[in-house]
Structure 1
Amino acid sequence: MRFLLNLDVPDLDAAIAFYTRAFDLQLARRLFGGSVAELLGGPAPLYLLQCDAGSVPCEGTQRDYRRHWTPLHLDFIVDDLEAACARALAAGARCEQAIRDEADYRIALFADPFGHGLCLLQWRGSGYAEASA
């Protein structure tokens, strides 16, 4: 089985610029009349979907790109957390929690320019494979 990551954004060109600069992903192609961008370079493709603010994803809701909370977010596993944080900030991310050291990992929390939460993680050891129960 494979999975794809799809992320709604209000400005496709700005989102391409952010995710390619911040995480060194590469634009592979544009699909569906240019309304979707396929980014490669991670363990799964990331598809950015142009969805205007105010559009209706499901009955009773409207897309709003102010900072929002959702139970689904992106974690980017990095080798050098300080360098990754600097790169994300330079690309336009907002730091919401500075680097924190935990027993199994180091982490910093950010929001992308479109309100989506994301984490930068640097494992100590091999990550979840070593995590305690």
Structure 2
Amino acid sequence: MHLLINIDVPDLPAAEALYTQAFGLSAGRRFGDGGVELLGAQAPIYLLQNAAGSIAAADMPRDYTRHWTPVHLDVVVDSLEPALDRALRAGLMQETDIRDANWGRIVRLADPWGHGWCLLQFVNRGYDEIAT
């Protein structure tokens, strides 16, 4: 299986700037004015420009205020504090304090378009610390 990540945004240039600055990604292919491929993660991320209010699915309009969805993206980093500082300077918003767990550390963020993100710093064996 080959995984592609697609993220709807209402402002493609602003989203490209935010994600490249926050996560060290680089722009790859462009798809006219409607999309850009971001490279540097294990799977390519495609930013797709879609206006707020346009139909997303099941006749539901897109809403870019902060929303909950069962899908979010985790970014694994070597050191949490510098990565958090870079993400905040780029425009993400911190939603929780940094939390320690036996597998590592986590902080929850949101981008300006309502999407949830987490920064993770693994310690020891990472998720293998809690895997059964």
TM range (shorter): over 0.9
RMSD of aligned Cα (Å) = 1.0
User: 1:127 maps to which residue?
Assistant: 126
> What is the aligned residue count?
132
Q: CA deviation at 1:131?
A: 2.7
Q: Does 1:70 align with 2:77?
A: no
AA aligned opposite 1:99? I
User: 1:20 maps to which residue?
Assistant: 20
TM-score, L = length of structure 1: 0.95
- Residue pair 2:103, 2:128 contacting (<8 A) in 1 also: no
Q: CA deviation at 1:34?
A: 2.4
User: 2:2 maps to which residue?
Assistant: 2
CA distance in 2, matches of 1:125, 1:37: 36
AA aligned opposite 1:71? P
Q: CA deviation at 1:109?
A: 0.3
TM-score, L = length of structure 2: 0.96
Secondary structure, counterpart of 1:98 in structure 2: coil
Gaps of 5+ in 2: none
Sequence identity, in percent?
55
Task: Write the mapping of 1:93-132 to structure 2, written as runs, cut at 5 A.
Answer: 93-132=92-131
CA distance in 2, matches of 1:128, 1:80: 16
Secondary structure, counterpart of 2:66 in structure 1: coil
Secondary structure, counterpart of 2:98 in structure 1: strand
CA deviation vs aligned residue, 1:38-90 (integer Å, no higher than 9, x gap): 00001000000001000001233100000000000000000010000000000
AA aligned opposite 2:49? Q
CA distance in 1, matches of 2:46, 2:125: 27
Gaps of 5+ in 1: none
AA aligned opposite 1:9? V
